[in-house]
Amino acid sequence: MKALFCKNEKHSRLKRIASFLLLLLLLPATSFLAGCQKEDTVEDKTRGNLTIAIGMNQGAVPRQAGVASVVFNEGYVIVREVVFDGDKAAGGTVSFTEERITTIDIVTGIANPPFAMTIPAGVYSSVSLGIEIQDETDKPSVVANGTFTNLEGVRIPLRFEFNSGEVFEASSDELVTLQYATPVTARISFDPHAWFSVITTTQLNNATRTNGVIIISETHNPALFTLVADRLDELTEANFE
Protein backbone atom coordinates (compact mmCIF):
# COMPACT_ATOMS: atom_id res chain seq x y z
CA MET A 1 0.00 0.00 0.00
CA LYS A 2 2.82 2.40 0.76
CA ALA A 3 4.46 1.83 -2.64
CA LEU A 4 1.11 2.32 -4.39
CA PHE A 5 0.56 5.63 -2.53
CA CYS A 6 3.96 6.92 -3.61
CA LYS A 7 3.23 5.99 -7.18
CA ASN A 8 -0.06 7.90 -7.12
CA GLU A 9 1.58 10.90 -5.49
CA LYS A 10 4.25 10.91 -8.17
CA HIS A 11 1.60 10.67 -10.87
CA SER A 12 -0.30 13.66 -9.40
CA ARG A 13 2.87 15.71 -9.26
CA LEU A 14 3.58 14.93 -12.92
CA LYS A 15 0.02 16.01 -13.84
CA ARG A 16 0.53 19.33 -12.04
CA ILE A 17 3.82 19.92 -13.88
CA ALA A 18 2.19 19.06 -17.22
CA SER A 19 -0.68 21.46 -16.54
CA PHE A 20 1.75 24.23 -15.66
CA LEU A 21 3.75 23.66 -18.86
CA LEU A 22 0.54 23.67 -20.91
CA LEU A 23 -0.42 26.99 -19.34
CA LEU A 24 2.95 28.46 -20.28
CA LEU A 25 2.45 27.31 -23.86
CA LEU A 26 -1.00 28.83 -24.06
CA LEU A 27 -0.05 32.23 -22.63
CA PRO A 28 1.75 33.53 -25.78
CA ALA A 29 -1.18 32.44 -27.97
CA THR A 30 -3.63 34.17 -25.65
CA SER A 31 -1.56 37.34 -25.69
CA PHE A 32 -1.33 37.13 -29.48
CA LEU A 33 -5.10 36.82 -29.85
CA ALA A 34 -5.65 39.74 -27.49
CA GLY A 35 -3.16 41.80 -29.49
CA CYS A 36 -4.97 40.95 -32.75
CA GLN A 37 -8.31 41.90 -31.28
CA LYS A 38 -6.95 45.25 -30.13
CA GLU A 39 -5.33 45.83 -33.51
CA ASP A 40 -8.62 45.10 -35.33
CA THR A 41 -10.41 47.61 -33.11
CA VAL A 42 -7.85 50.30 -33.94
CA GLU A 43 -8.04 49.41 -37.63
CA ASP A 44 -11.82 49.84 -37.65
CA LYS A 45 -11.44 53.35 -36.26
CA THR A 46 -9.16 54.28 -39.15
CA ARG A 47 -11.84 53.49 -41.71
CA GLY A 48 -14.86 55.30 -43.06
CA ASN A 49 -18.12 54.06 -44.59
CA LEU A 50 -19.25 54.93 -48.10
CA THR A 51 -22.83 54.07 -49.08
CA ILE A 52 -24.06 53.92 -52.66
CA ALA A 53 -27.35 55.46 -53.84
CA ILE A 54 -28.95 56.30 -57.18
CA GLY A 55 -30.26 59.78 -57.91
CA MET A 56 -32.83 60.71 -60.56
CA ASN A 57 -34.21 63.97 -61.85
CA GLN A 58 -37.92 63.45 -61.23
CA GLY A 59 -39.13 66.41 -63.29
CA ALA A 60 -40.05 66.27 -66.95
CA VAL A 61 -37.70 67.51 -69.62
CA PRO A 62 -38.96 71.00 -70.61
CA ARG A 63 -40.99 70.74 -73.79
CA GLN A 64 -39.37 72.32 -76.82
CA ALA A 65 -40.31 72.26 -80.47
CA GLY A 66 -39.51 68.84 -81.91
CA VAL A 67 -38.19 67.47 -78.63
CA ALA A 68 -39.75 64.51 -76.81
CA SER A 69 -41.40 65.20 -73.46
CA VAL A 70 -41.09 62.34 -71.02
CA VAL A 71 -41.72 61.79 -67.33
CA PHE A 72 -40.34 58.79 -65.42
CA ASN A 73 -41.89 57.84 -62.10
CA GLU A 74 -40.44 54.44 -61.24
CA GLY A 75 -37.59 52.09 -61.99
CA TYR A 76 -34.53 50.36 -60.63
CA VAL A 77 -30.88 49.52 -61.26
CA ILE A 78 -29.36 46.17 -60.21
CA VAL A 79 -25.72 46.63 -59.18
CA ARG A 80 -23.35 43.74 -58.58
CA GLU A 81 -20.00 45.48 -57.92
CA VAL A 82 -18.55 48.91 -57.18
CA VAL A 83 -14.88 49.91 -57.45
CA PHE A 84 -13.63 52.98 -55.58
CA ASP A 85 -10.44 54.73 -56.75
CA GLY A 86 -8.99 57.91 -55.31
CA ASP A 87 -5.80 59.81 -54.51
CA LYS A 88 -5.26 60.21 -50.80
CA ALA A 89 -4.15 63.65 -49.59
CA ALA A 90 -1.65 61.97 -47.26
CA GLY A 91 -0.10 60.26 -50.27
CA GLY A 92 -0.75 57.22 -52.40
CA THR A 93 -3.64 55.91 -54.47
CA VAL A 94 -6.37 53.76 -52.93
CA SER A 95 -8.50 51.22 -54.79
CA PHE A 96 -11.24 49.14 -53.16
CA THR A 97 -13.77 46.72 -54.62
CA GLU A 98 -17.06 45.68 -53.05
CA GLU A 99 -19.06 42.84 -54.59
CA ARG A 100 -22.71 42.70 -53.59
CA ILE A 101 -25.88 42.34 -55.63
CA THR A 102 -28.39 45.02 -54.71
CA THR A 103 -31.39 46.67 -56.34
CA ILE A 104 -31.43 50.48 -56.17
CA ASP A 105 -34.67 52.38 -56.67
CA ILE A 106 -34.01 55.21 -59.15
CA VAL A 107 -36.67 57.43 -57.57
CA THR A 108 -35.86 57.09 -53.86
CA GLY A 109 -32.19 56.18 -54.32
CA ILE A 110 -32.58 53.44 -51.68
CA ALA A 111 -30.57 50.24 -52.14
CA ASN A 112 -32.06 46.92 -51.03
CA PRO A 113 -30.06 45.36 -49.48
CA PRO A 114 -27.96 48.41 -48.49
CA PHE A 115 -24.70 48.80 -50.41
CA ALA A 116 -21.80 50.10 -48.32
CA MET A 117 -18.02 50.07 -48.66
CA THR A 118 -15.44 50.31 -45.88
CA ILE A 119 -12.53 52.48 -47.03
CA PRO A 120 -9.51 53.90 -45.14
CA ALA A 121 -10.40 57.25 -43.59
CA GLY A 122 -8.88 60.34 -45.13
CA VAL A 123 -9.33 63.08 -47.70
CA TYR A 124 -9.47 61.93 -51.32
CA SER A 125 -9.24 63.71 -54.65
CA SER A 126 -9.78 62.48 -58.24
CA VAL A 127 -12.37 60.03 -56.95
CA SER A 128 -13.97 57.68 -59.47
CA LEU A 129 -16.48 54.89 -59.08
CA GLY A 130 -16.86 51.95 -61.42
CA ILE A 131 -20.41 50.57 -61.18
CA GLU A 132 -20.88 47.11 -62.68
CA ILE A 133 -24.43 46.20 -63.62
CA GLN A 134 -25.80 42.72 -62.98
CA ASP A 135 -26.23 40.65 -66.15
CA GLU A 136 -26.49 37.01 -65.10
CA THR A 137 -30.30 36.74 -65.21
CA ASP A 138 -33.02 37.30 -67.80
CA LYS A 139 -34.39 40.16 -65.73
CA PRO A 140 -33.40 43.60 -67.10
CA SER A 141 -30.67 45.19 -64.99
CA VAL A 142 -31.87 48.76 -65.61
CA VAL A 143 -35.57 49.64 -65.91
CA ALA A 144 -37.25 53.05 -66.13
CA ASN A 145 -41.03 53.34 -66.46
CA GLY A 146 -42.81 56.54 -67.35
CA THR A 147 -45.03 58.36 -69.81
CA PHE A 148 -44.41 60.01 -73.17
CA THR A 149 -46.64 62.97 -73.98
CA ASN A 150 -46.67 64.02 -77.63
CA LEU A 151 -47.36 67.49 -78.98
CA GLU A 152 -51.10 66.73 -79.19
CA GLY A 153 -51.18 65.96 -75.48
CA VAL A 154 -51.64 62.21 -75.95
CA ARG A 155 -49.99 60.25 -73.13
CA ILE A 156 -48.38 56.92 -73.97
CA PRO A 157 -46.77 54.51 -71.45
CA LEU A 158 -43.00 54.33 -71.92
CA ARG A 159 -40.58 51.67 -70.67
CA PHE A 160 -36.80 51.53 -71.02
CA GLU A 161 -34.96 48.24 -70.45
CA PHE A 162 -31.21 47.67 -70.34
CA ASN A 163 -29.72 44.24 -69.73
CA SER A 164 -25.94 44.16 -69.90
CA GLY A 165 -23.00 43.71 -67.59
CA GLU A 166 -21.69 47.14 -68.50
CA VAL A 167 -19.43 49.06 -66.13
CA PHE A 168 -20.41 52.71 -65.75
CA GLU A 169 -17.75 55.21 -64.74
CA ALA A 170 -18.81 57.95 -62.34
CA SER A 171 -16.25 60.56 -61.34
CA SER A 172 -16.17 63.62 -59.10
CA ASP A 173 -13.87 66.63 -59.00
CA GLU A 174 -14.76 67.49 -55.40
CA LEU A 175 -12.71 66.45 -52.38
CA VAL A 176 -14.20 63.51 -50.52
CA THR A 177 -13.60 63.17 -46.77
CA LEU A 178 -14.19 59.80 -45.14
CA GLN A 179 -14.21 59.59 -41.35
CA TYR A 180 -14.84 56.88 -38.80
CA ALA A 181 -18.54 56.57 -37.83
CA THR A 182 -19.52 59.34 -40.29
CA PRO A 183 -21.06 57.70 -43.37
CA VAL A 184 -20.73 59.42 -46.74
CA THR A 185 -23.18 58.74 -49.57
CA ALA A 186 -22.10 58.55 -53.19
CA ARG A 187 -25.19 59.48 -55.19
CA ILE A 188 -24.89 58.23 -58.75
CA SER A 189 -26.84 60.25 -61.30
CA PHE A 190 -28.73 57.75 -63.45
CA ASP A 191 -31.00 60.31 -65.15
CA PRO A 192 -33.38 58.78 -67.75
CA HIS A 193 -34.78 62.22 -68.55
CA ALA A 194 -31.37 63.29 -69.80
CA TRP A 195 -30.93 59.97 -71.63
CA PHE A 196 -34.12 60.57 -73.62
CA SER A 197 -33.41 64.22 -74.43
CA VAL A 198 -31.76 63.12 -77.72
CA ILE A 199 -34.96 61.47 -78.98
CA THR A 200 -37.49 63.64 -80.85
CA THR A 201 -41.22 63.61 -80.48
CA THR A 202 -41.53 62.30 -84.03
CA GLN A 203 -39.25 59.36 -83.26
CA LEU A 204 -41.33 58.37 -80.24
CA ASN A 205 -44.60 58.89 -82.13
CA ASN A 206 -43.36 56.49 -84.81
CA ALA A 207 -41.96 53.95 -82.32
CA THR A 208 -43.36 50.42 -82.32
CA ARG A 209 -45.78 49.80 -79.44
CA THR A 210 -46.29 46.53 -77.58
CA ASN A 211 -49.75 46.27 -76.05
CA GLY A 212 -49.95 50.06 -76.16
CA VAL A 213 -46.55 50.55 -74.48
CA ILE A 214 -43.44 52.00 -76.13
CA ILE A 215 -40.72 49.59 -75.00
CA ILE A 216 -37.17 50.63 -75.76
CA SER A 217 -34.70 47.78 -75.40
CA GLU A 218 -32.22 45.77 -77.45
CA THR A 219 -35.12 43.86 -79.01
CA HIS A 220 -37.81 46.60 -79.09
CA ASN A 221 -37.10 49.80 -81.04
CA PRO A 222 -33.35 49.00 -81.15
CA ALA A 223 -32.44 52.20 -83.03
CA LEU A 224 -33.86 54.33 -80.21
CA PHE A 225 -32.27 52.01 -77.66
CA THR A 226 -28.82 52.68 -79.12
CA LEU A 227 -29.32 56.44 -78.81
CA VAL A 228 -30.36 56.15 -75.16
CA ALA A 229 -27.77 53.52 -74.18
CA ASP A 230 -24.94 55.70 -75.48
CA ARG A 231 -26.04 58.42 -73.08
CA LEU A 232 -25.98 56.19 -70.00
CA ASP A 233 -22.21 56.16 -69.69
CA GLU A 234 -21.69 59.73 -70.90
CA LEU A 235 -24.02 61.28 -68.32
CA THR A 236 -23.20 59.12 -65.29
CA GLU A 237 -21.69 61.25 -62.51
CA ALA A 238 -21.17 60.97 -58.76
CA ASN A 239 -21.92 63.50 -56.03
CA PHE A 240 -20.85 62.89 -52.44
CA GLU A 241 -23.07 63.91 -49.55
CB 147 within 8 A of CB 156: yes
How many domains does the chain fold into? Answer: 2
Task: Return d(Cα 220, Cα 207) in angstroms, integer.
Answer: 9
Structural domain range at position 8: 1-44
Q: Are residues 199 and 88 in the same domain?
A: yes
Same domain, 189 and 138: yes
The answer to whether residues 39 and 79 belong to one domain is no
| Whether residues 119 and 64 fall in one domain | yes
Is the same domain home to 32 and 89? no
Please give the sequence-ordered ranges of beta strands (E in DSSP) within the chain, or none if there are none: 47-55, 69-88, 93-105, 111-112, 116-120, 122-133, 142-149, 155-162, 167-172, 176-178, 184-189, 209-210, 213-216, 238-240
The last residue of one of the domains, among 9, 25, 44, is 44
Q: Alpha-carbon distance 123 to 15, whole Å?
A: 59
Instruction: Say whether both 29 and 73 belong to one domain.
Output: no
Per-residue pLDDT of the chain (241 residues; tens, 9 = 90+): 333 334 455 555 555 544 544 444 444 444 443 444 444 444 456 777 777 766 655 444 444 545 557 888 888 989 888 888 889 888 888 888 889 898 988 888 788 988 888 888 888 888 888 888 887 677 888 899 999 888 777 889 999 998 877 777 777 788 888 887 777 887 777 777 777 878 888 888 899 999 999 999 999 999 999 988 887 766 666 677 7
Are residue 142 and residue 236 in the same domain, yes or no? yes
Question: Is the domain of 134 the same as that of 38?
Answer: no
Peptide linkage before 157 cis (omega within 30 of 0) = no
Query: Same domain, yes or no, for 123 and 149?
Result: yes
